[in-house]
Amino acid sequence: MKASIRLPQDLEKRRCELGLNRRQLARRSGVHPATVRRILSGQRAAPLVSSVVAIAECLGLELVFVPKADPQTMVRAQADQKARKLVFLVTGTAGPEAEAVARPMVEAMVKQTARELLAGPRRSLWSD
């Protein structure tokens, strides 16, 4: 398994290891110097992926996406979340008035709705 990098600390560390200053990195990557500074200092909370990739490539790094969860786990979680939303919408149990319908009954309805959602087309799980 490949090691993951932590932005911005690892990018900055790599830059220093290579002996590049930020201006050189900006010129070589094609990313504006102010943007390089903000990304490497952590001031840019959500940098453009294209900027991060350009900087990483100049530093001899590659951007790798590592799954946090397997697809089946994500599908089940989405089915449960959507089922809860639908059941709460129908029964009116989303707030303090949740005692209007017994909790075990609501949970049984959520489980049944989730099973039905999982049996249908996956596309419907992700629609609002």
Model pLDDT for residues 38-80, shown as the tens digit of each residue: 999 988 778 999 999 999 999 999 888 888 899 999 999 999 9
Report the pLDDT value the prediction gives residue 1, as an integer from 0 to 100. Answer: 45
The CA R_g of the chain, rounded to the nearest whole Å, is 23
Give the H/E segment covering residue 73.
Answer: helix 71-91
**Which range has the worst mean pLDDT, 53-67, 84-98, 103-117?**
84-98
**Which range has the worst mean pLDDT, 1-15, 21-35, 70-84, 85-99?**
85-99
CA atoms of 87 and 111, how far apart (whole Å) = 10
Domains of the chain (ranges, CATH numbers): 9-58 (1.10.260), 71-125 (no CATH)
Model confidence, pTM: 0.61
Mean pLDDT over 9-33 rounds to: 96
Q: Are 64 and 94 in contact, with CB atoms under 8 Å apart?
A: no
CA atoms of 67 and 14, how far apart (whole Å) = 24
Q: Are 44 and 50 in contact, with CB atoms under 8 Å apart?
A: no
Average pLDDT, the chain: 88
Q: How many CA atoms lie within 13 A of 95 on its CB side?
A: 2
Q: Which of 34, 18, 28 is nearest to 55 (CA)?
A: 28
